[in-house]
A and B are shown apart, each in its own frame.
Chain A
Amino acid sequence: MTTNGRVALRTQALTKVFRGFRAVDSVDLVVREGGVHALVGPNGAGKTTLFNLLTGFVAPTSGAIRVFDEDVTGKQPEQVARRGVARSFQITSLFETLTSREHVELALQGLTRQGFRFWRSEKLLGGNRTRVDDLLTQVGLMTLADKQVGLLAYGQKRALELALVLALDPRVMLLDEPTAGMGTEDVDRTIELVRRIAAGRTVVFVDHNMHVVGSLADRVTVLQQGKILAEGAYDEVRNDERVITAYLGEADHA
């Protein structure tokens, strides 16, 4: 991975308290530009909350967030997205009545102001046909492009999540469990896809599947009870005693 030393994402003493419960606790995270950074930790460790903080879906109790040295603390989700940070959701989050194609068309338009054109035909949205087809093909949804997503299978919806993030052509991608609930074959395809799209971007992803973490991540941060427990290269972290203890009782994931 190319690492030219710039910092893509940085949090400083980032903290989120939910009614006295410290879901994210003084997290200082540094993600280098061009890196593929995994965020792991047991259920409830605060990984998704951290993503929500980074993308403006949850306001921090204290601490700061910087994206390429710009302070984005307290910015709204759409403002964060407009700064080139795109995320996928752990719990699939789609527009139930629209088709996959319509999703991708919407996503391609998201960062422009073209969505305000109420006097034009929505056929315009399909104007970027090759790009839409390309994205759908990349995630393997081309044959199902015109099916309403409410009727898609779970794994297909996960794939569409990825396509939406990709469509934004982000500088930083935050993927929350991109392979959750997928069969082995799909997991491998997703690994390949993420590896391909990671080129020239910064990726942070959460995954419980250590095969995925091991194949993709050049750096791993372990979160436990809202705090950073360990950080380093995959092999370092994997053999860290504290990490092994933290994952005890979750042996099936290791």
Chain B
Amino acid sequence: MSQSTATPAPVTEAHPVVAAANPRLRWVLLAGGLVAALALPWFVYPPVAMDIVAMALFAIALDILLGYTGLLSFGHAAFWGSSAYVTGLIATNYGVPFPVAIIGGALFAMILALPAGYLSVRRSGIYFAMVTLAFAQMVYFVGYQWSGLTGGENGLQGVPRHFFGVELVETDSFYFYYAALPILLLGMWAAWRIVHSPFGRVLVSIRDNTQRARALGYEVDKYKVVAFVLSAGLTGLAGGVFAINHGFVALTELHWSTSGEVVLMTVLGGIGTLWGGVLGATLAVLLADYLASSGFDGIDLVTGSVFVLVVLLFRRGLWGTVRHQWLAWQQRRSSRRTRSGGGTRR
């Protein structure tokens, strides 16, 4: 069954040797990313730097669903925004250190994600996206109406930034960046852990072939709900940091356009890669910031055009394309070596 059926398989498959990811390269990338994260507020206005990293975690959290489970959520603003509000409210009303408030926000997002996930995973494809969107619109409506709590259209003003009385962090956004960074990095590490866990393997199998996963006994809907809740929790961490960073929560954080933005960032960077989210978020935030500070008011037009261009030119997204080329090159090299009788693969 193995050697005798030697009809060569077409090597036109979309994904060459994903498994052959080079561990050394992975560490180099990780170290590079860490250095970049630590250096960022030296080169970029610190609140913007914080936005970049928060958005990066947002995109990574979305990618757990979009890239690894094959579910396009168009309602993640509900988790981002509701965590931002809850974080802001906890910080305002209880005067706790901001990490505690953020954890509260993230937990709230997870609780909210439970019914949302339960209802939406029964559908797939565009219908899944529609259910998540409808759910997020409901949350938006509540945020809008319940102005006694959320401030309605005025947003939640004056969110304090308590941090164990460390004044530098509480008042200087440069130092705040370093105090909040570990929360986001922890969130990113969690996403990496999830994706590379036994659970993550099941998610990929669901993405690749749901029917087969079910035939193997996997209760696919339950896995999707858990993925949904985990994704919402990480989104909540990011949204909470965002709220504290700005000292203010706007209603836009719950708006469907926020759900759309994070999808764009993730796709721009490349889905199913984690790093793609980081790259996409970085570029999108930097571009928007650059355009805003140069007084240009057609930001959406420009970012939208960039997005369309990138997706047309590189359908795997920026990071996805680079990665694909790299792996394809490695594969060509290794097969050339095997053919010439040289060293064995890996």
Contacts and interface: CB of A to CB of B under 8 A. Distances in A.
Q: Is A bound to B?
A: yes
B22 to A, nearest CB: 14
Contacts of A144: 2
Given A139-B1, A150-B15, A151-B11, A107 B216 contact: yes
B30 to A, nearest CB: 16
A86 interface: yes
A110 B206 CA distance: 12
Given A114-B198, A118-B226, A119-B197, A97 B217 contact: no
Interface in A74-118: 76-78, 81-82, 86-87, 89, 93-99, 102, 105-107, 109-111, 114-118
Interface string A127-160: 0000000000001111110111011111110110
A6 interface: no
A145 B321 CA distance: 26
A214 to B, nearest CB: 20
Contact of A78 (B8, B198, B218): B218
B35 interface: no
B223 A116 contact: yes
A190 interface: yes
A33 to B, nearest CB: 21
A96 B9 CA distance: 13
B201 A116 contact: no
Given A110-B218, A122-B196, A152 B9 contact: yes
A156 B5 contact: yes
B208 interface: yes
A115 B5 contact: no
Given A95-B205, A124-B198, A153 B8 contact: yes
A96 B13 contact: yes
Of A98, A168, A182, A183, chain B has the most CB atoms within 10 Å of the CB of A98
B18 A115 contact: no
B156 interface: no
Contact of B194 (A96, A105, A118): A118
Nearest to B2: A140
B202 A106 contact: yes
Contact of A148 (B15, B193, B219): B15
A183 B215 contact: no
A141 B212 CA distance: 19
B6 interface: yes
B9 A183 contact: no
B332 interface: no
A98 B208 contact: yes
A197 to B, nearest CB: 14
Contacts of B250: none
Given A86-B215, A106-B201, A156 B19 contact: no
Interface string B187-202: 0000001101111111
Contacts of B50: none
Given A97-B204, A151-B13, A117 B216 contact: no
B16 to A, nearest CB: 7
Given A115-B202, A115-B223, A117-B199, A97 B15 contact: yes
Contacts of A148: 13, 15-19
Given A96-B15, A148-B13, A81 B216 contact: yes
Contacts of A48: none
B145 interface: no
A156 B198 contact: no
Given A95-B209, A115-B202, A117-B197, A110 B1 contact: no
A140 B2 CA distance: 5
A72 B19 CA distance: 38
A147 B194 CA distance: 23
A202 interface: no
Q: Could you say which of B1, B15, B197 has the most chain A C-beta atoms within 10 Å of its C-beta?
A: B1
Given A118-B230, A148-B16, 4 more contacts: A93-B211, A95-B204, A98-B19, A168-B216
17 contacts: A57-B214, A77-B215, A78-B218, A95-B213, A96-B15, A97-B204, A106-B201, A109-B202, A116-B222, A118-B194, A118-B197, A125-B201, A140-B3, A144-B2, A148-B13, A150-B13, A151-B9
Interface of A: 55, 57, 76-78, 81-82, 86-87, 89, 93-99, 102, 105-107, 109-111, 114-122, 124-125, 139-144, 146-148, 150-156, 158-159, 164, 168, 182-183, 185-186, 189-190
Interface of B: 1-9, 11, 13-19, 193-194, 196-202, 204-205, 208-209, 211-220, 222-223, 226, 230, 346
